[in-house]
Amino acid sequence: MVDVTDKAPTVRCATATGFVHCAPHVVAALRDQSVPKGDVLAVARVAGVAAAKRTPDLLPLAHVIAVHGVVVDAEVTDEGVSLAVTVRTADRTGVEMEALTAVCVAGLAVVDMVKGMDKHTWIGQVRLEAKSGGRSGTWQRTGKQGPDKV
C-alpha cells in the first residue's frame, strides 16, 4: 500500500462508465417496468453507491477514504443499460477505483435483477472516463481508445 501520509487532502473526482448488454425482450421489460424483481435502475443506483463506499473491503491495497459524493446514472437504451458513476472526495488519494467498482457492482445488480429473464445478459465497456485533483491533475479519455464492444 502506498503511504499517502504526507500528501495534502485535495478535492478529487472520478467518472467511470460501463454497459449492461440485454436482449430486446429485457429492454422492453426495463422500459415498461415489468421486470419481476422490481425497479432495476433504482436497485442498480443503490448498489453502485454502496459499492463505492465499500471499495477498500474489496480491493486489498485501496486506501480507506471519505467518499463525499456518489452519483450513479443508469439509462435504458435499445441495447441495454448504460451506466455512469461519478465519485467525489476531499482526501489524500483519488477515487478512480471507487468509481470503477461502483460501475461494476451497479452492472452486477442489473444482471441479478434480469437473469431470470435472460441468462445471456453481460457487462462490458467498463472504463475510467475522467479524473481530477491530486498531483497528476486532470485527465480525460479522448477519442476512441480500446475496443467498443468486447
Say how many C-beta atoms besides its own lie within 10 A of residue 46's C-beta: 14
Catalytic entry in 3, 73, 91, 112: 112
Matching residue, cell 451497479: 106
91 is a catalytic site residue:
no
Q: DSSP string spanning 4-44? A: -TTSPPEEEEEEEEEEEE--HHHHHHHHTT--TT--HHHHH
All three cell numbers of 149: 464492444
> Residue 91 in contact with residue 8, Cβ under 8 Å?
no
> Residue 12 in contact with residue 71, Cβ under 8 Å?
no
Matching residue, cell 431470470: 116
Residues serving a catalytic function are: 112
